[in-house]
Amino acid sequence: MLELARARAPGVELVLADVPLLPFADGAFDLAFSSNVYSHIETAAARAEFVADALRVSRELVVLEQAWRLGRDQESWELRRLLDGSEHRVFKRYLAADELARELEGVVVLASAEFVAVRTP
């Protein structure tokens, strides 16, 4: 992924890390953007830690996730098959915009059929 990103955005600094803790100083950024990561965090405590760490390094956080809709499990362990043929079980939640806004104590900035996004604080 980093190789692809490097090719597409030459000159941009890219950092690989397990989070938390983000390897950045307190208040280093104006805005943090998280796409389809929050919904893979299994416990409420770990989700709260993820959000707190993002808001430690950034003034604002935008979290984008796939939207829940009728017929979709709200949360489950999904079997994902990669192009190399390997299979992985991943925890996944699908979120309604108001539910995500409540969890993050933020405001809805996107509520489409496929994606929801919330900005916090």
Ligand X SMILES: C[S@@+](CC[C@H](N)C(=O)[O-])C[C@H]1O[C@@H](n2cnc3c(N)ncnc32)[C@H](O)[C@@H]1O
Minimum CB distance to ligand X, residue 91 (Å): 10
**What is the Cβ-side half-sphere exposure of residue 20, based on CA atoms within 13 angstroms?**
15
For ligand X, what does the binding mask look like between residues 27 and 66, x meaning CB under 6 A? --------xxx--x--------------------------
Q: In what order do the strands lie in the sheet with 58-66?
A: 29-35, 58-66, 115-120, 107-111
Minimum CB distance to ligand X, residue 34 (Å): 7
Helix (H, G, I), strand (E, B) or coil at 36: coil
Minimum CB distance to ligand X, residue 23 (Å): 11
With a CB cutoff of 8 Å and minimum separation 6, the contacts of 13 are none
Minimum CB distance to ligand X, residue 120 (Å): 18
Cβ 79 vs Cβ 87: under 8 Å: yes
Q: Does 76 bind ligand X (CB under 6 A)?
A: no
Q: Does 19 bind ligand X (CB under 6 A)?
A: yes
User: Which amino acid is it at 120?
Assistant: T
* Residue ranges binding ligand X (CB under 6 A): 18-19, 35-37, 40
